[in-house]
Structure 1
Amino acid sequence: MELHHMLHIKLKIFFSAPGPVTEPPTDLAVRCDSAECQLPYCFCSKDGTLVPGGINPEQTPQMILLTFDGAVNLNNYDHYRKVFNHKRLNPNGCEILGTFFISHEYSNYHMIQELASEGHEIATETISLQNGLEDKGYEEWVGEMVLEEFGYIYDSSIGVPALPIPVWPYTLDYKIPHECKSGTCPTKSFPGVWEVPLNTHYVEGFEGGHCPYLDQCVLHNHDAEDVFQWLQEDFLRYYDQNRAPYMMPFHTNWFSIKELEQGLQKFLNWVGTLPDIWFVTTTQALTWMTDPKPVKELNNYEPWDCRKKTNIPPLPCKNSNKCALSFKRPELNITDTRYLETCVECPNKYPWLGDASGSGIPGKDNYVPDNVRK
């Protein structure tokens, strides 16, 4: 948990009073030590812009990470299908892939299984998307999402300010190599946990503004050609320099504006003509970083080879179960109905925090990390 130093304020009206005193933290992460931090389990650099493995940028694949936050359902599924249209291919002939940071509420699990069966990465956002987790205790964090203690490989939530050269992913063994944009970045060391940072998207001299998520930039009042050119110039800051992964994070609202969706399609068509572009999942990008290979070796690179599929979920069922389930938020004394589409049997209740299976027994789940269980 991050500790903030408190200012000692003296009131100078009729008296002076000492402010509260806090003990300084003793386990803060230190600056990168590249001699000690070695791949595959640790990676850092002084300012975060170094290409892993010392590969020349021209020989580094330009990875593009298409990521989508929130529920997957009828509001966005067809839009996502226009991005992953089975026609866009990586240089090795495999279909391009993306990462879906799923939130549970309102998600259609039949659609999610369809995406997973095609090799897209299904990652976790939170269960409920509730605000204020910074004020919650350990149990609430575990119920929503867990990282180090439960073996998560990476986090992707730390924003990077607008920089002339983008930052590569890094492990949290050491102090983060850039300014903390949100003020809530980790200050302790979390060995082996990767951070895939949200580099700020921006174009100098353009009124779109600065944004970690692309739908947060002010582009809705521009036509598709303007949006395409904005994305192109933003992308070239990566491609022409250190080729840090170009993460393109979206929420559903990007696809609700025709000009934004059309501009994205133009960008995807253009960038797909470049010879060293790879659309990969977040985990695939990190796999490459643990053992970097130059572009010339990637056509037969096994972790990105769709012919070597491992741990891919099966195709979804043809006839899914459409479940109407009672749902009562613990903090509200109101019961309503949630609809769940799934290939498994309908649960008794709408699955929620503390009852992931929907058994109807609140608090049924008991999350115990390995280091406590032992």
Structure 2
Amino acid sequence: MSTFENQFVAVLYKPYLKFNSVIQFHLVFRMGVRLILLASIVGLTLSATTQGPESNCPRADACRSDECFPPECSCSGAEPVLEDREDRPQIVYLTYDDAFSAYAEENFYRSLFNGTFKNPDGCDIRATHFLTAQYTDYTLVNKYWKKGHEMASHSITHRSSTDYWKALNVTGWRNEIEGLRKMISQFAAIPKEEITGFRAPFLQLGGDEMFTALQQDGFKYDCSWASRDYGYLKLDVGLFPYTLDYETVQDCPVEPCPTCSYPGLWVQPMLDLEDRWIGADPTHPNNGMPCSMLDACIIMDDVPTKDTVKEMLMTNFLRNRNGTRAPMGLYMHAGWFYGEYSWHYEGYKDFLQEITENYDDVWIVPVNAGLDYFQNHNNLTNTEILALGDDSPFSCSKFSQPPYSNSRCDALTPCRYENVDNSDIHNQERYMHICGRTSTNTAQKCPPTYPWLGDPCGGNEPCL
């Protein structure tokens, strides 16, 4: 791929590196906007081919629907067996990437998940959090997990070089992905088997090396793989989650994508949304541009307000609703809500109020709950799902039972580390808010060294 093509992909799918302020973030957006416009003018098309696998894994064959069906297997491109689309529950995912911070919890998550917004069964809406190591408050991770939120891995280091992730071998991916899962289990007192999902930093797929690592460590799904062919203006023909037993029909906008077979490993496609930069692409003068992450969606109205955000989200929601109703995600970073951009947050909340109050078949649940539906209940109508009560894949009743009710956190005084010095942090101070119990209810103290790549528990034992 050429240098220009790499810049184009970086802007379109990964416009957030590590900015010191919201203003800096949007300055980079403006620079990226020019690249996107130039790409549309010259008619740039990105190759959908995949690189050959470096790891020793069996190449995937074309899917056979007579041999591949839920719960163990699902062909890419297959729809649920429930033929009447209007009877299908509509699933919306809310996900948040990177650190689970006390600031984000106090200012944003708390009022989103305090019971104001309900699912059709009366349960509170819930989200998936793709976590990284630095600045995560593990005591809050434990609190929200016990409320029914899903905690998933997003790597330890979240290094900003996409070349690092492209070149990473299987062992490197395992250290990043499984290492972060060990951190969550150790410091947030969450059983490791409850942490089953992953998202790659910057949505930079690692090809067969990454998916081999996920399978070897027993992860259930990946949610890193963007799709414009089944999203954006085609969100009404959205792609449903599928397993990688066989080859996929999904487009590959961010190479390398996998080519091998990974039986039972699910992909939850990230279907592109349409933003509010109307007319930026001459081929679609009446439409906005595609965005995989909500905080990559550009809003170019003269005086954008919370109503602009709500309108953008409703446009995508209704396109999805009137089509296949494949799960639609609002995938983002909490930083989109910060500072002078509070109208993002207000519009986001207004959208959630609209869809939870006016639609009795819309479910805002974590990714793992959505996958449970497609694995085990995809032949049921929304009415039948409601009739299941506590046995529904979306029910909240299980969160008052083990392992949730057995988890003790016993928060410690914040752990302080002066002059942390490793390959990513150079002589800086770090704090950790951790539970005084591990997932096995073993008492623990602050780790003797700052946990990082290669030593995810910081010397605390046992490190499961």
Length-normalised TM-score, structure 1: 0.84
Query: 1:241-297: per-residue Cα shift (whole Å, max 9, x none)?
Result: 111111110112211211211110110010112010111111111111012221111
| Residue 119 of structure 2 corresponds to residue 90 of structure 1 | yes
Find the residue that maps to 1:53 and give its secondary structure. Answer: coil
- Between Structure 1 and Structure 2, the one with more helix by share is 2
Could you tell me how far apart the structure 2 residues matched to 1:4 and 1:106 are? 35
**Equivalent residue number for residue 225 of structure 1:** 307
**CA positional deviation for 1:136:** 2.3
**Equivalent residue number for residue 13 of structure 1:** none
Could you tell me how far apart the structure 2 residues matched to 1:36 and 1:161 are? 28
Find the residue that maps to 1:231 and give its secondary structure. Answer: helix
Which residue, 61, 70, 92 being the options, matches 1:30?
Answer: 61
Task: Indicate how the Cα distance of structure 1 residues 209 and 167 shifts in structure 2: closer, same or farther if over 3 A, else same.
Answer: same
Select between 305-314 and 196-205 the one with higher mean Cα deviation: 305-314
| Native 8 Å contact 1:63 1:277 kept in 2 | yes
**Equivalent residue number for residue 297 of structure 1:** 384
| Residue 452 of structure 2 corresponds to residue 352 of structure 1 | yes
Task: Indicate how the Cα distance of structure 1 residues 298 and 332 shifts in structure 2: closer, same or farther if over 3 A, else same.
Answer: closer
Length-normalised TM-score, structure 2: 0.68
Could you tell me how far apart the structure 2 residues matched to 1:358 and 1:26 are? 33
Select between 299-308 and 91-100 the one with higher mean Cα deviation: 299-308
| Native 8 Å contact 1:156 1:195 kept in 2 | yes
**CA positional deviation for 1:207:** 6.2
Aligned length: 343
Query: 1:168-211: per-residue Cα shift (whole Å, max 9, x none)?
Result: 11111122212211122111111100000111111676664211
Select between 299-308 and 246-255 the one with higher mean Cα deviation: 299-308
Unaligned runs of 5+ in 1: 6-21, 368-374
Could you tell me how far apart the structure 1 residues matched to 2:84 and 2:244 are? 24
| Residue 354 of structure 2 corresponds to residue 287 of structure 1 | no
Output the aligned Cα RMSD. Answer: 2.7
Q: Given residue 71 of structure 2, which amino acid in structure 1 is its aligned partner?
A: P
Unaligned runs of 5+ in 2: 1-48, 178-212, 276-283, 437-444
Task: Indicate how the Cα distance of structure 1 residues 4 and 246 shifts in structure 2: closer, same or farther if over 3 A, else same.
Answer: closer
Could you tell me how far apart the structure 1 residues matched to 2:297 and 2:450 are? 35
| Native 8 Å contact 2:101 2:135 kept in 1 | yes
Could you tell me how far apart the structure 1 residues matched to 2:137 and 2:323 are? 40
| Residue 247 of structure 2 corresponds to residue 175 of structure 1 | yes
| Native 8 Å contact 2:419 2:428 kept in 1 | yes
Task: Indicate how the Cα distance of structure 1 residues 317 and 178 shifts in structure 2: closer, same or farther if over 3 A, else same.
Answer: closer
Which residue, 43, 51, 57 being the options, matches 1:4?
Answer: 51
Find the residue that maps to 1:100 and give its secondary structure. Answer: strand
Find the residue that maps to 1:321 and give its secondary structure. Answer: coil
**CA positional deviation for 1:120:** 0.3
Select between 261-270 and 249-258 the one with higher mean Cα deviation: 249-258
Q: Given residue 70 of structure 1, which amino acid in structure 2 is its aligned partner?
A: D
| Native 8 Å contact 1:71 1:107 kept in 2 | yes
Pairs within 5 Å for 1:223-262? 223-256=305-338, 257-262=341-346
Task: Indicate how the Cα distance of structure 1 residues 336 and 149 shifts in structure 2: closer, same or farther if over 3 A, else same.
Answer: same
| Native 8 Å contact 2:142 2:409 kept in 1 | no
Task: Indicate how the Cα distance of structure 1 residues 196 and 327 shifts in structure 2: closer, same or farther if over 3 A, else same.
Answer: farther
**Equivalent residue number for residue 157 of structure 1:** 224
